Amino acid sequence: MSRDQVVLVCGVAGAGKSTLARELESDGYVLLSFDQTAWEAGHREHPVPPHVADEVHARLTGRLLSLVADGRDVVVDTSFWSRASRDRYRTVLAPTGVVPVVWFLDVARDVVLARLARRRGAGPDDVLVPPDLAERYLDGFERPTAEEGPVRVLTGG
């Protein structure tokens, strides 16, 4: 199987995206993390304000384009909760000829809620998500489909 040059790790908060992204990083991918970038800018609560999200995505996509131009393999760790968010990165990459592959972590609702309940706010991969917000995230999540482009579904829990 050929290696995906750009992986968009997709799933709700608590699905295991950051864990998967770090595994890919250990396999030679460059990791671009929304939460890490926001955390480094001093943002400890989610969701971040829309203007902050736009700034973080601008930094990530700028770095992504630079890395792709250098021929590097990249994993982008953010929720990609909507088709529009995934399409945004596809559009950014289109002029390069690189087609990103969405790796969707499909994890049971009860597992996600239990993981989020254990969070303590100790770092960018441990941001607190109150139960009511977690429920809204789960209910508002738009599952990726093959009609969008390449998708790998990874089940777990």
- Give the percent of the chain with pLDDT over 70: 99
**pLDDT higher than threshold 80 for residue 1:** no
Cβ neighbours of residue 90 under 8 Å, at least 6 residues apart? 99, 100, 148, 149
Question: d(Cα 137, Cα 149) in Å, to the nearest integer?
Answer: 23
| The predicted structure's pLDDT at residue 126 | 76
Tens-place pLDDT, residues 76-118:
999 999 999 999 999 999 999 999 999 999 999 999 999 999 9
Burial 112-130 (b: 16+ CB within 10 A, else e): bbebbeebeeeebbebebe
Model pTM score: 0.92
Which contacts of 132-136 are long-range, i.e. CB under 8 A and separated by 24 or more positions?
A: 133/46, 134/12, 134/13, 134/14
Tens-place pLDDT, residues 38-68:
999 999 887 889 999 999 999 999 999 999 9
Hey, what domains does the chain have and what are their CATH numbers? 6-156 (3.40.50.300)
